[in-house]
Amino acid sequence: MGSKKKKEEIDVNKLIALEQELHDLKAEQGIEEKEGWLSRKISGYFDRKEAMGEIALDKKKYILLAVFTGWLGGHRFYAKQYKTAILYLLLCWSGFPLAMTLIDLLIVIPKPVDEQGKMCL
């Protein structure tokens, strides 16, 4: 006869309350919670992206740039996504930018446009 372990069900609300209590106790005792460098980098990226907001782009121009200069990152330069555009430019000799451009097109083509033909990216 083997002993069966009883699985405890996790209550999410209880877990959140316990984490908040732990955070409050640490603050009360003066214990600082340090964020790791990777976490700071990821948070900073999303903070900058959120602060930048959405960019309205001409859908036809974006698609034409993707089709004709996508392997060089032309559509990414147009969308002001400079880091990705430079990555496409540096790797233009490989198939990576071409494959990513196809994915970009699959994402952009079904996007709705406003009355001026602009889309938010």
How do residues 6-15 score in pLDDT, each as one tens digit?
Answer: 566 778 888 8
- Residue 49: band (very low, low, confident or very high) from pLDDT cuts 50, 70, 90: confident
Closest CA to 66 of 21, 29, 97, 20: 97
- 3-state secondary structure (DSSP) of residue 119: strand
| Mean model confidence pLDDT for the chain | 87
DSSP secondary-structure letter at 72? G
What pLDDT, in 10s, does the model give residues 54-98? 888 999 999 999 999 999 999 999 999 999 999 999 999 999 999
Residue 6 has what pLDDT? 57
The distance of Cα 94 from the centroid of its chain, to the nearest Å, equals: 24
Q: Tell me how many helices (H) and strands (E) the chain has.
A: 6, 2
Position 91 scores a pLDDT of 94
- pTM for this structure? 0.61
The pLDDT assigned to 5 comes to 54
Kindly state the tokens that stand for 81: 């996504």
The answer to whether the CB of 45 falls within 8 A of the CB of 81 is: no
Distances (CA, A) of 48 to 15, 33, 53, 84: 30, 23, 9, 15
Residue 32: the pLDDT is: 82
pLDDT at 7: 61
